[in-house]
Structure 1
């Protein structure tokens, strides 16, 4: 089943909303494929133009840099994860079950549609694991933040922190733990796949299962009062 999803992202990310035209949609969907295939360092607008059978100036009419295009893609993904969390948790009352489901979602265990609005979620998940830190580990991070370019990530963290507080109302670090869980979900899977000696995944496979088990232990041991 193919589902159409649209999220309102910061207008500072683009010159022209790519959701409004077919070429804009092609730019984003093919950028996801290309970044997945060759990595962000090797990705260029010139290569993207060839892939979509267009020109670099056409891409620049939508995005001023590949960094903003990457941030746009990541923001779409964060918005999607929050949408899935809210939708899947709506009918669950048990806060423990809610938290467990969130951990499944952020480690990509929960069921999902493979394609939504021409965006491949498996490719997106890979990009988030490998490339997401490149969106904010930059010298201009404060300026970028002031333009609300990280709003979807903050919103997702806030949602997770609110669920954590239903489990442990007196826990003093809900936002810090929420952001730690998101970052750890990506870092530990990357390490498990590529730098396994930085993890305790002795099987050297089943990376998502390992990360989910680790995050579950981390979450519930952290919020438990001593």
Structure 2
């Protein structure tokens, strides 16, 4: 699978960026170093000026790729969900039983990610930490309706619908597949956050993973 993914070009909505960062060494450096910097200082404190200093480039050069840091965050989260979608497709392709596909899917979307060495400019394990803390900031804005209309969240919605399709295979009569699907994905991010920062209000810890919780919950719901 690693060989296959290394040859895949993840397609991101062209409306999100001004110049495709994947097409130049500077663009790829912007992506890789922005991930590390956001993880280090937090998205609120992250600025293009700080990123420019980190990559030893003019701040204006970053603006040639992204209009603002909000668009950059949407790009990074879109990249992540596109990468997760490819993982989902390839890692469940040979699973015939829908229950097995669903359990594998839940595990994929709730596990702690390890860096994929085939994507040299993206550290997926660090990017996941950003997804956990900052993904909802991409759409909890006043501009969400317009950005949704422009397809900014198309990849994420496609992921949710893929998972809901597997849920329907397991139990075609279950009335809330999309709600359950989005709950699995976003809820697991919340459980990771609680496990890292506010442990008293989650059962997820070193011995109980979000995957354990969601596999147990979903299997009981759908039986």
Shift of 1:13: 0.5
Cα distance between partner residues in 1 of 2:106 and 2:64: 38
| Pair 1:196-2:199 in alignment | yes
| Pair 1:220-2:219 in alignment | yes
What's the RMSD between the two structures over aligned residues? 1.7
- Shift of the 119–5 alpha-carbon distance from structure 1 to 2, 3 Å rule, reads farther
Deviation track 1:26-78 (CA, whole Å, cap 9, x = no partner) reads 11111111111111111110010011110111000110110100010000000
1:33 equivalent in structure 2? 36
Deviation track 1:159-201 (CA, whole Å, cap 9, x = no partner) reads 1011111100111111111111001110011011111122124
Cα distance between partner residues in 2 of 1:68 and 1:108: 27
| Pair 1:57-2:60 in alignment | yes
Equivalent pairs counted in the alignment come to 220
**18-27 or 73-82, which moves further after superposition?**
18-27
Task: After the TM superposition, list the runs of 4 or more consecutive aligned residues in structure 1 that deviate by more than 4 angstroms.
Answer: 109-112
Cα distance between partner residues in 2 of 1:11 and 1:64: 12
Residue 21 of structure 2 contacts residue 31 of structure 2 at CA under 8 Å; is this kept in 1?
Answer: yes
Q: TM-score, normalised by structure 2?
A: 0.93
Residue 108 of structure 1 contacts residue 125 of structure 1 at CA under 8 Å; is this kept in 2?
Answer: no
**103-112 or 163-172, which moves further after superposition?**
103-112
Shift of 1:109: 5.1
- Shift of the 109–60 alpha-carbon distance from structure 1 to 2, 3 Å rule, reads closer
Residue among 122, 138, 141 paired with 2:125 = 122
Structure 1 residues without counterparts, runs of 5 or longer:
none
| Pair 1:96-2:99 in alignment | yes
Structure 2 residues without counterparts, runs of 5 or longer:
none
Paired residue secondary structure (1:12): coil
| Pair 1:206-2:209 in alignment | no
| Pair 1:162-2:165 in alignment | yes
- Shift of the 114–63 alpha-carbon distance from structure 1 to 2, 3 Å rule, reads same
